[in-house]
Homo-oligomer: A and B are copies of this chain.
Amino acid sequence: MADVEERAQILIEALPYIQQFAGSTIVVKHGGSAMVDHELRRAVARDIVMMHFVGIRPVVVHGGGPRISAMMERLGIQPEFVRGLRVTTEQTMEVAQMVLVGSINKEIVSLINAEGGQAVGLSGKDANLIRTRKMESEADLGYVGEVESIDAGVLETLAASGYIAVVSPVGAGPKGESFNINADHAAAELAVAVGAAKLINLTDVPGILADPDDEESLISTLTLDEAQGLLGGEDIGEGMIPKLESAIRAVEGGVPRAHIIDGRIPHASLIEVFTDRGIGTMISADPSTDG
């Protein structure tokens, strides 16, 4: 019975966090090992369903880079470059959309449904959720877009009826064409648009590291100012840049806290949301308040 009492104790320790986030939206950027590893992705699905059942409205945004590359290779599509930059041709865009919307999104939907949730997959084109403009750059990079505006109506409709939205980062262009958008950026814009209480980014590192080569050098908390300083500096690894940009954008847009956490830990987002253990890096306007 001692064991059972301890279990009860652990459950009850989640109560303050359940109370704190009841009725809030939490945006989870899904990706990396957490989306690939068989056990980890089941754990993420459970975390999402757990959030839903304790009164949180989770929104999942996923990426999918490696899977797109693999499919392009299978189809024998050669990458194109303009002035040294990779270009998203119409053909590439079509493949990306098929992989993101037609394959990865449905896998996540299935995993959530298997855990007892009711997931509905969306792309940014559905109900014009993510209106997108062509990203400006010196070279013509083709169908690479950035978020123009979010029309979160369909998210509200689905959440109000108990459905969990899973969003693929494909944007609706002005003429109905598809644009590839960075999933970290899309997650931040969605978090801002729905007034999320948190943005959680599942990555393959422990968080932001003071020394990118030293996993022990984790920075637990960053103010917005500190985060912006870091972004401008040289100590930030290239892969971390869009994730840090995403966190900064979210906090600038009014999301109280953005977290870059280690998706390789099972139930990482559950730990982040429901326990008092710091996990990964938290960026917030005012880090003095915990949670």
Q: Which residues of A contact B (CB under 8 A)?
A: 1, 4-5, 7-16, 18-19, 22, 43, 46-47, 49-50, 53-55, 74-75, 94, 97-103, 105-106, 109-111, 113-116, 118-123, 125-128, 153-154, 157-158, 161, 163, 170, 172, 175-178, 265-267, 270-271, 274-275, 277, 279
Contacts and interface: CB of A to CB of B under 8 A. Distances in A.
B275 A4 contact: yes
Q: How many of these chains are in the complex?
A: 6
A98 B103 contact: yes
A53 B19 contact: yes
Contact of A102 (B4, B50, B97): B97
Contacts of A178: 106, 110
B113 A172 contact: yes
Contact of A8 (B103, B154, B266): B266
A176 B103 contact: no
A-B pairs with the 3 shortest C-beta distances?
A102-B102, A8-B267, A98-B102
Contacts of A271: 4-5, 7-8
A175 B118 CA distance: 15
A8 B111 CA distance: 19
Residue with the greatest number of chain B CB neighbours at <10 A, chosen from A8, A94, A121 = A8
